[in-house]
Chains A and B, each alone.
Chain A
Amino acid sequence: MIVVQQKPLDRIRQMIADYDRILILGCGTCATVSFAGGEKDVQALASILHMADKTRAGRKQFMEHTVKRQCEWEFLDEIEPMAKEVDTILSLGCGIGVQAIAERFPDVPVLPGLDTSFMGMPQEQGMWSEMCAACGNCILDLTAGICPIARCSKSLLNGPCGGSHDGKCEVSPDLPCAWQLIIERLTKLGRLHELEELMPPKDWSTSAAGGVRRIVRSDLRITSQDATPEGHERN
């Protein structure tokens, strides 16, 4: 899942300062699961912003709505009537949702109520960890199912480094050293010898570093556009 969190309230108040009629739009998938953009969060933020506005004798109006996923055109269709009525949409979705709204409703300013943090999972109720950096070329088969790209502070391919102490990363005493975890797990699996082979430098062209990414699959597309080369495509 994509893990998000709400922006500081002051920042949100700053963003909406110029607008009177505001649609607070929740997202029923990742943002809900992140406890930042579900129906409950939309309701609470609307209450808080309404009160904050009133304390300064403002007259802002807040509308509340939550769609299943902001990152799908079809799910955005239902807000079209509301979009026409408001001065801005404050999205409680991830950055994808914000941009989908901007593209779907070109005439309506859209504001991000959340910061998109990372791809990860809840380790426990109320605690999320980054697990994947979307490098576009997965090596988890070589690292015992533990990603050194996302979970090693240096994204080392042949770790650990000298900053690993008692299983923790020098960056933070709370942060486990990913390479320590990899070694422990490979030992348990009886495959530690696999590390004797050095990993060559990674081709980062499939990652964000390689530029904007897009996947096109002609086997799935149903529009008869000009064939685009399969696989990763760079704009």
Chain B
Amino acid sequence: MAIAALKRFATEYGHDDAGEPQTGAKRAEKIAIIGSGAAGLTAAHDLAKMGYGVTAFEREAAPGGALRAFIPEYRLPGEVLQRDIERIVALGVEIKTNNELGKDFTLSELKKGGYSAVVLALGLPLSRGLNIAGVELDGVLLALPFLREAKLGGGKTISGKRVIVIGGGNVAVDVARSAVRLGAGEVHMTCLEARHEMPAFAWEIETALEEGVRLHCSKGPKSILSKDTKVAGLECMEVKAVFDEEGRFNPTFYEEKVSGIDGDVVIIAIGQAVDLSFLRDTAIKLDRRGQLVFDRDTLATSEEGIFACGEVISGPGTAVGAMASGRQAALAVDCYLRGEQMAAPQPDDRMDVGELLATTTSEIKRLEKQEMPTLPLEERLGNFDQIELGYAEILAVKEAQRCLRCGAGAEYLEDKCSVCLTCVRICPYGAPIVTRAGSIDIRADQCQSCGICIGECPARAITFRRREDNQIGERIEAAVTEASLSGAEPVVIGLCCSYGAFATSAFTKFFRDNYKPGIRIVKIPCVIKIDTSHLLKVFELGADGVFVVGCIEEDCPYQMSTFWAERRVAAVKKNLDEIGLGGDRLEMYTLSNPTVQKLDEIVTEVTTQVRRLAPSPMRNRRGEA
């Protein structure tokens, strides 16, 4: 599933409803965060939510760290970052820009200033260089300054020039793709690793190639070639191996196998660093290599009350990794200030959901992945417009429908079971099996959470693991009560699918509770979950009419949803006829995704049909006992 794309959709579409940011009870302590990148902002956010007073110190003119200065705009638009920062500021976090530790203030000044704890979230703001001939030439650049200038302006033009990027990580790819956008004539990437060993994400490399970047794998830079004082190209050696026998980074080369790439600009993107020498004079310990000494669990440095998080301790990684580290630091600071021991990380005792068996997958409807809409290749050059355009609502709900809800399905209650084997016989996916002990095992990893077995089990010995799925009856009851209170006649309840186009905001907004007096729509995660007792209950509670609306079979992720829903509706219609209440009070419909708004016509049709019948005798009306 496209989880990242769905999360993005949730933040884009759910933003309006996110409400005002809330913080916990105010705490007296003040906390200083040094650095306002992904790690620092996350720590600041979490601590502010806990009620602490938080100040983030940022040496740059604006907050955001690498997110703002280095991550290209086509991957992370500034306005998205700005919106997140505004929400963090709204929690009460103060961000002091143009404030650099070791230059504008010191750690001891912070302590004197009343800060009870300090979190170092310094990131890795420096590019590592190379020690080869020619690095001093005009036209040799470092990755981070290049990315910064590409983003914030001020760089020299590379338009029409041949650019050679040294490095095979994600930053190198960012550099190469930025160079393409800045109008470079050719963009080459060289790296030590073979294609399959490259540390950059495979999909990033693919996209770079699509955009015209030329890849030279297993090449080690030997020297930068020159003509006069300018770059003329890169001389490379063939790589023998990148890692030694113990798996450590220790490249070896075929010194005699030398090749060259012509170019005008060389950009070195082989790693990042931070200069912590300004900490030498403090009590914070650094190791032999100049790195922070810290506790892996509490993220505490050697100095009381001073913590570290993000890439400064982890090395280069993803923004998400830095945020996780920031979150851990916030917890650590909270524990420290409360005088509590930081809970040791709990062993994850959640059970893995097992693999889907071939016998199961062969029965699951195959729903194709909804590809992320992207900017066409030809529109990417010469600008930094965001490439991934985000899901439109209907794509997001369709993608979400692909979720197999592993482990969230049917739960078997052994003491109620009469071992009738109905579940074994009717499950389209073969999830329930007979155990050697003669009972039933509904294999959670094979169950698709459709609920057919729950509706059919004669002993009511199966429930949903998800509480919400077991509350359909209560929601129906609430709907009948509300509709009755409106005083309108007739009271008609719609039991309607909540997936696919039924989940879109256009549908939901139209059919909300004040849609029509006396009418209530209850959303059900697939009408297959409506069983006969639900249908009988609605009438018993006093509804004059009921309609069930599901997706057409092609739009439904489940097997046989229409079959079971229609069969149950037919059974209850027969019951209603038998007792003289009238089967015409209940109807079933299916709508395809593009036609869900036709529900409005269905409501009119059912209401008209129900008006011809006497009001339900089940409901107490005004003036009755």
Kindly state whether residue B28 has any CB partner on chain A within 8 Å.
no
Whether A39 contacts B618 by the Cβ 8 Å rule is no
Please name the residue on chain B nearest to A57 by beta carbon: B617
Whether A55 contacts B580 by the Cβ 8 Å rule is yes
User: With A32-B420, A47-B540, A125-B425 known to touch, is A40 a contact of B581 (CB < 8 Å)?
Assistant: no
User: With A44-B533, A125-B425 known to touch, is A33 a contact of B420 (CB < 8 Å)?
Assistant: yes
Q: Nearest Cβ distance between residue A126 and chain B, in whole angstroms?
A: 9
B617 contact from A29, A47, A48, A55, Cβ within 8 A: A55
0/1 interface trace, chain B 527-549, chain A, CB 8 Å (1 if under): 00000110011011000000000
Place the interface of chain B in its size category. 20 to 34
Q: Which residues of A contact B335 (CB under 8 A)?
A: none
Roughly how many angstroms separate A47 CA and B538 CA in the complex, as a whole number?
A: 10
Q: Which residues of B contact A9 (CB under 8 A)?
A: 578-579
Kindly state whether residue B478 has any CB partner on chain A within 8 Å.
no
Roughly how many angstroms separate A147 CA and B539 CA in the complex, as a whole number?
A: 47
Please name the residue on chain A nearest to B536 by beta carbon: A47
Roughly how many angstroms separate A35 CA and B421 CA in the complex, as a whole number?
A: 12
Whether B458 contacts A48 by the Cβ 8 Å rule is no
Kindly state whether residue B422 has any CB partner on chain A within 8 Å.
yes
Q: Which residues of B contact A125 (CB under 8 A)?
A: 422, 425-426
Whether A35 contacts B458 by the Cβ 8 Å rule is yes
Roughly how many angstroms separate A52 CA and B582 CA in the complex, as a whole number?
A: 11
Q: By CB atoms of chain A within 10 A, which of B458, B532, B580, B581 has the most?
A: B458
Whether A32 contacts B537 by the Cβ 8 Å rule is no
Whether A54 contacts B618 by the Cβ 8 Å rule is yes
Kindly state whether residue A218 has any CB partner on chain B within 8 Å.
no
Kindly state whether residue A206 has any CB partner on chain B within 8 Å.
no
Kindly state whether residue B459 has any CB partner on chain A within 8 Å.
yes
0/1 interface trace, chain A 1-26, chain B, CB 8 Å (1 if under): 00000000110000000000000000
Taking CB atoms and an 8 Å cut-off, the chain B residues in 423-467 that contact chain A are 425-426, 457-460
User: With A38-B459, A40-B457, A54-B618 known to touch, is A33 a contact of B418 (CB < 8 Å)?
Assistant: yes
Whether A38 contacts B418 by the Cβ 8 Å rule is yes
Q: By CB atoms of chain A within 10 A, which of B420, B426, B537 has the most?
A: B420
Q: Which residues of A contact B420 (CB under 8 A)?
A: 32-33
0/1 interface trace, chain A 82-124, chain B, CB 8 Å (1 if under): 0000000000000000000000000000000000000000001
Q: Which residues of A contact B576 (CB under 8 A)?
A: 51
0/1 interface trace, chain B 385-425, chain A, CB 8 Å (1 if under): 00000000000000000000000000000001010101001
Interface size on A, residues (CB 8 A): 24
Kindly state whether residue A43 has any CB partner on chain B within 8 Å.
yes
Kindly state whether residue B82 has any CB partner on chain A within 8 Å.
no
Whether A48 contacts B533 by the Cβ 8 Å rule is no
Whether B458 contacts A39 by the Cβ 8 Å rule is yes
Whether B460 contacts A51 by the Cβ 8 Å rule is no
Whether A47 contacts B460 by the Cβ 8 Å rule is no
Q: Which residues of A contact B578 (CB under 8 A)?
A: 9-10, 48, 52
Please name the residue on chain A nearest to B537 by beta carbon: A47
Kindly state whether residue A185 has any CB partner on chain B within 8 Å.
no
Taking CB atoms and an 8 Å cut-off, the chain A residues in 108-157 that contact chain B are 124-125
Whether B458 contacts A52 by the Cβ 8 Å rule is no
User: With A38-B460, A51-B618, A52-B579 known to touch, is A43 a contact of B418 (CB < 8 Å)?
Assistant: no
Q: Nearest Cβ distance between residue A66 and chain B, in whole angstroms?
A: 8
Q: Which residues of B contact A124 (CB under 8 A)?
A: 425
Whether B579 contacts A55 by the Cβ 8 Å rule is yes
Whether A47 contacts B418 by the Cβ 8 Å rule is no
0/1 interface trace, chain B 567-587, chain A, CB 8 Å (1 if under): 000000001101111000000
Please name the residue on chain A nearest to B576 by beta carbon: A51
Kindly state whether residue A28 has any CB partner on chain B within 8 Å.
yes
Ranked nearest first, the 8 interchain pairs of A and B with the lowest CB-CB distance are: A38-B458, A52-B579, A47-B536, A33-B420, A32-B418, A39-B460, A125-B425, A32-B458
18 further A-B pairs in the complex, CB-CB below 8 A; given A40-B533, A51-B579, A52-B579? A32-B420, A33-B420, A35-B458, A38-B458, A38-B460, A39-B416, A39-B460, A40-B459, A44-B533, A47-B537, A51-B536, A51-B540, A51-B576, A51-B618, A54-B617, A57-B617, A125-B422, A125-B426
A-B contact pairs, 7 of them (CB 8 A): A38-B459, A38-B460, A47-B536, A51-B536, A51-B540, A52-B578, A55-B580
